[in-house]
Structures are given as structure tokens and as C-alpha cells.
């Protein structure tokens, strides 16, 4: 199964995360659509470069998460 970029909202975290490891990037407060699009682009680029094998496995998610 391949890793997927997922949106996670939990009590202590909201942002993009990996479906297979604890990699994540916390969503900043963005005031414009341009800022949101820039954040999403950086998250996607960083996600594609990360190495799941270098990080411990992910514990089960308990909050809301959406897969894209």
C-alpha cells in the first residue's frame, strides 16, 4: 500500500499528515486563498520528499481525517 497525504484534525494537531508514519505539517492560520494554496503546495512538496522508513510507524488516528 502506498503512502497518502491526508488531512488530520485532532485535539492537538490540524494539518497535512502521512497515512503511514508520523510525518506531518501543522496548518498555519491563513487569511487569504493565496496563502492556503501556497501552504498546500509546500505540504505536498515536503510530503513527496519525506522517507517513511526513517520515522517510526504511525499510531492509529483518533480524529477526523480525509484522504486526498
Residue owning grid cell 513527496: 48
Number of compact structural domains in the chain? 1
Contact status, residue 65 vs residue 9, Cβ threshold 8 Å? yes
Domain extent, residue 62, equals 5-67
Contact status, residue 9 vs residue 63, Cβ threshold 8 Å? yes
Residues 4-51 have pLDDT tens digits of: 999 999 888 899 999 888 899 999 988 999 999 999 999 999 999 999
- Is this model's pTM higher than 0.95 or not? no
Q: Which residues touch 55 (CB under 8 Å, ≥6 apart)?
A: 21, 22, 23
User: Which residue did the predictor score with more confidence, 7 or 55?
Assistant: 7
Amino acid at each position: 500500500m502506498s503512502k497518502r497525504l491526508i488531512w488530520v484534525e485532532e485535539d492537538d494537531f490540524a494539518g497535512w499528515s502521512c497515512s503511514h508514519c508520523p510525518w506531518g505539517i501543522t496548518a498555519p492560520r491563513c487569511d487569504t486563498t493565496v496563502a492556503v494554496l501556497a501552504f498546500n503546495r509546500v505540504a505536498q512538496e515536503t510530503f513527496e520528499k519525506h522517507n517513511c522508513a526513517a520515522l517510526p510507524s504511525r499510531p492509529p488516528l483518533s480524529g477526523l481525517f480525509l484522504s486526498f
